[in-house]
A and B are shown apart, each in its own frame.
Chain A
């Protein structure tokens, strides 16, 4: 009997975890095209308020600036509920460590939130592509939707239908410790005014100068996981000549190029640069903030605001280096999406919330400022006028490159990429060896893209 109990215990402990991921039988029918479900159109506020029955919706938000703070979000909720007393909004605050798992588990358990605040790489590439989000195209006709920048709307759309409403945007950039660069006489290799490098060669000259000045840990190519990997991607593609990561249709990956391999070989051989499989972007940011690293590849305005109290040196946000006319930077967009929970009343309430938040310029401005970013439509005013620091970050906005993060097989691509960097660290550093690793990663990523 004891044997049976012990064996059952062993089986239970193992199978328990694996089975947590068991598909629900309520999964939507196979969808050749993404989310065929049409969401009910958001009614005019007055009509909704007058006739509607009480409805409760949930909003899950990742910690994008103050969108992760109760004080800020509760203020909006109170204001919204004052205007729409029949709608109750319950907020759940996610973090980037466990947020994905929590969200995916909820989706699988049929408990997806109604509203989700995140970027298109998750909302579009993961959820909308699987038919889990509602079509929000009709919101383009609302007061908040009419002026949306078309390029940003495109990143939130599949086959012309908009599945996520863009709220805020910013450019991901890199950053340097200005004090260390000044001490190393390396500021001559860059243009502080424009936040650009004189050339790719000067970028490497600057790294060498800092290294020679005695600061040995200039930069690290973090590859312990996928978090913040836009930094390492653009660290490669910009100096390689703004090489594209996918084809224009976003159906296949195209990063296994000689140019990318050559630039990685250059990093490999560069003093002061190390491939570090033990850290991820969050660790790199901490090391930069602590003054250990002289440069950081994962940076943006929000990160600056989150860390400014801990920084005791002058930081200089920089575009990634390129010899092209302008660098192709990664855009960071944050959107509200609505999960298709097969409940028309909740869907309508969720859309009402989006319309409420985006149609009134004052409320919308608050939402954008809370994210520490910039609007996704022309508000006719500079939100950061007089703010020297934020203006520094604002100048990168014209340099958004293609938003390839919506390419199919995105999760697999990210895995392949950081694993490829780990493998590259173990090569002899030759372009040929590096290209072989990039090709292996690209083949695997494209196989996943084709299968999705």
Chain B
């Protein structure tokens, strides 16, 4: 009896090892990719941030000097401030607007819902360069449609240099970012609304709940995982706002649209300050990680 158990255990153990090994083999291609293109670059980013690294010579270890320099760099702080403004405006607006649109179109006939989903998703699938160029035309100081409409409708007399005026440039960037950010959340919210347990909603309505009450008490909690996902993704995208800045303003005028991502790029690829750029990348990653953790914590509590 005892010998039989040992034989069975040994067989189970071998089977387990075999299955585990097979599982890891299946995972191996992804793991190689993950290590080579994710973990290694992450490690090198942190590592390089402690060096004075530039093109054409060996790196010089400088300890925390890049971080100290960052703390004294007014453009970095300006970029951080602008980035936070972009995040603080675009994330709630994107979420609220997406939820509003999704709520409206999810009640429509299927064909209409699909059509609206396509329309709102178009800026997402259109190349960011193409979208940006079109916006650049519309904001053009000399022949842009916004100045044309503004002048002809009597809204303002003088032309406004939308992207060349510190008062408007960041607002324009945020507006464009919103148009390209709402597509995916709308699709996700429409899907989440479809998945809400309708029997619960009907039961609440039978019990006399208003539409608003049914939404906040029944639908909203069931959509919380989707909301959490949208919040995190939108926050990360807003922090990483780059292409718009590069194509429209290069961070100007007077750094009024400078963001951390663009400043990283500028230092690393234009001024060849690789160590300094990586130090900024580390700081930005830490900020995003903290914010994401807070969002998850708050989301779970809800």
A2 to chain B, nearest CB (A): 7
Contact assessment for A21 and B278 in the assembled complex, using a CB-CB cutoff below 8 Å: yes
The CA-CA distance from A304 to B141 in the complex, in Å, is 24
Among A154-162, A190-198, A417-425, the one that faces the other chain is: A417-425
| Interface flag for A326 (CB, 8 Å) | no
Indicate with 1 or 0, residue by residue over B230-269, a CB within 8 angstroms of chain A CB atoms.
Answer: 0010001001101000000110111100000100111011
The CA-CA distance from A225 to B246 in the complex, in Å, is 10
Contact assessment for A31 and B56 in the assembled complex, using a CB-CB cutoff below 8 Å: yes
Indicate whether A225 sits within 8 Å of B277 (C-beta atoms), given known contacts A21-B269, A27-B56.
no
The CA-CA distance from A18 to B141 in the complex, in Å, is 34
Indicate with 1 or 0, residue by residue over A167-191, a CB within 8 angstroms of chain B CB atoms.
Answer: 0000000000000000000000000
Contact assessment for A11 and B269 in the assembled complex, using a CB-CB cutoff below 8 Å: no
Indicate whether A10 sits within 8 Å of B236 (C-beta atoms), given known contacts A15-B41, A16-B38.
yes
**Restricting to B130-158, which residues have a CB under 8 Å from any CB of A?**
139, 141-143
- Specify the main secondary structure of chain B where it touches its partner: helix
Contact assessment for A292 and B44 in the assembled complex, using a CB-CB cutoff below 8 Å: no
Indicate whether A15 sits within 8 Å of B164 (C-beta atoms), given known contacts A27-B56, A422-B252.
no
**Restricting to A1-34, which residues have a CB under 8 Å from any CB of B?**
2-3, 6-7, 9-23, 27-31
Residue of A nearest to B267 (CB): A21
Indicate with 1 or 0, residue by residue over A78-120, a CB within 8 angstroms of chain B CB atoms.
Answer: 0000000000000000000000110011011000000000000
Among B7-15, B186-194, B284-292, the one that faces the other chain is: B284-292
The CA-CA distance from A6 to B297 in the complex, in Å, is 12
Indicate whether A277 sits within 8 Å of B254 (C-beta atoms), given known contacts A10-B292, A130-B55, A224-B164.
yes
The CA-CA distance from A426 to B164 in the complex, in Å, is 11
- Specify the main secondary structure of chain A where it touches its partner: helix
Contact assessment for B268 and A277 in the assembled complex, using a CB-CB cutoff below 8 Å: no
| Interface flag for B162 (CB, 8 Å) | yes
Contact assessment for A217 and B44 in the assembled complex, using a CB-CB cutoff below 8 Å: no
Contact assessment for A22 and B253 in the assembled complex, using a CB-CB cutoff below 8 Å: no
| Interface flag for A136 (CB, 8 Å) | no
Total interface residues in chain B, CB < 8 Å: 59
Contact assessment for B289 and A10 in the assembled complex, using a CB-CB cutoff below 8 Å: yes
Residue of A nearest to B46 (CB): A15
The CA-CA distance from A9 to B277 in the complex, in Å, is 20
Chain B positions within 8 Å of A383 at CB level: none
**Which of A15, A108, A278 contacts B253, CB < 8 Å?**
A278
**Which of A127, A224, A278, A280 contacts B162, CB < 8 Å?**
A278
Residue of A nearest to B141 (CB): A278
The CA-CA distance from A31 to B56 in the complex, in Å, is 8
Chain B positions within 8 Å of A132 at CB level: 55-56
The CA-CA distance from A14 to B242 in the complex, in Å, is 12
The CA-CA distance from A352 to B45 in the complex, in Å, is 40
Contact assessment for A104 and B288 in the assembled complex, using a CB-CB cutoff below 8 Å: no
Contact assessment for B42 and A19 in the assembled complex, using a CB-CB cutoff below 8 Å: yes
**Which of A7, A10, A14, A28 contacts B56, CB < 8 Å?**
A28
| Interface flag for B173 (CB, 8 Å) | no
**Which of A28, A107, A108, A276 contacts B57, CB < 8 Å?**
A28
| Interface flag for B270 (CB, 8 Å) | yes
| Interface flag for B17 (CB, 8 Å) | no
| Interface flag for B50 (CB, 8 Å) | no
B24 to chain A, nearest CB (A): 18
The CA-CA distance from A383 to B185 in the complex, in Å, is 61
The CA-CA distance from A18 to B260 in the complex, in Å, is 11
Contact assessment for B164 and A29 in the assembled complex, using a CB-CB cutoff below 8 Å: no
The CA-CA distance from A23 to B47 in the complex, in Å, is 11
Residue of A nearest to B264 (CB): A18
The CA-CA distance from A333 to B54 in the complex, in Å, is 27
Contact assessment for A11 and B289 in the assembled complex, using a CB-CB cutoff below 8 Å: yes
Contact assessment for A6 and B296 in the assembled complex, using a CB-CB cutoff below 8 Å: yes
Contact assessment for A15 and B285 in the assembled complex, using a CB-CB cutoff below 8 Å: yes
Residue of A nearest to B162 (CB): A278
The CA-CA distance from A164 to B269 in the complex, in Å, is 23
Residue of A nearest to B143 (CB): A292
Chain B positions within 8 Å of A28 at CB level: 56-57
Contact assessment for A278 and B289 in the assembled complex, using a CB-CB cutoff below 8 Å: no
B228 to chain A, nearest CB (A): 9
Contact assessment for A20 and B41 in the assembled complex, using a CB-CB cutoff below 8 Å: yes
Indicate whether A287 sits within 8 Å of B142 (C-beta atoms), given known contacts A11-B42, A27-B58.
yes
A440 to chain B, nearest CB (A): 12
Chain B positions within 8 Å of A225 at CB level: 250, 252
Chain B positions within 8 Å of A30 at CB level: 57-58
**Which of B48, B255, B285, B292 contacts A23, CB < 8 Å?**
B48
The CA-CA distance from A27 to B242 in the complex, in Å, is 29
Chain A positions within 8 Å of B242 at CB level: 17
| Interface flag for B102 (CB, 8 Å) | no
The CA-CA distance from A6 to B225 in the complex, in Å, is 13
Indicate whether A101 sits within 8 Å of B269 (C-beta atoms), given known contacts A14-B284, A18-B277, A423-B254.
yes
**Could you say which of A6, A412, A426 has the most chain B C-beta atoms within 10 Å of its C-beta?**
A6
**Restricting to B29-75, which residues have a CB under 8 Å from any CB of A?**
37-38, 41-42, 44-46, 48, 51, 53-59
| Interface flag for B86 (CB, 8 Å) | no
Contact assessment for A224 and B56 in the assembled complex, using a CB-CB cutoff below 8 Å: no
Contact assessment for B41 and A224 in the assembled complex, using a CB-CB cutoff below 8 Å: no
5 more CB-based (< 8 A) A-B contacts, given A7-B293, A225-B250:
A17-B265, A21-B278, A23-B274, A27-B57, A279-B164
- Selected A-B contacts with CB under 8 Å, 11 pairs: A6-B232, A7-B292, A14-B281, A14-B285, A15-B46, A15-B282, A21-B274, A28-B56, A28-B57, A30-B57, A105-B269
User: Which residues of B line the A interface, CB within 8 A?
Assistant: 37-38, 41-42, 44-46, 48, 51, 53-59, 139, 141-143, 161-164, 166, 169, 232, 236, 239-240, 242, 249-250, 252-255, 261, 264-266, 268-272, 274, 277-278, 280-282, 284-285, 288-289, 292-293, 296
Sorted nearest first, the 10 A-B pairs with minimum C-beta distance are A18-B281, A130-B56, A278-B164, A277-B253, A19-B41, A21-B268, A19-B45, A278-B163, A14-B285, A22-B44
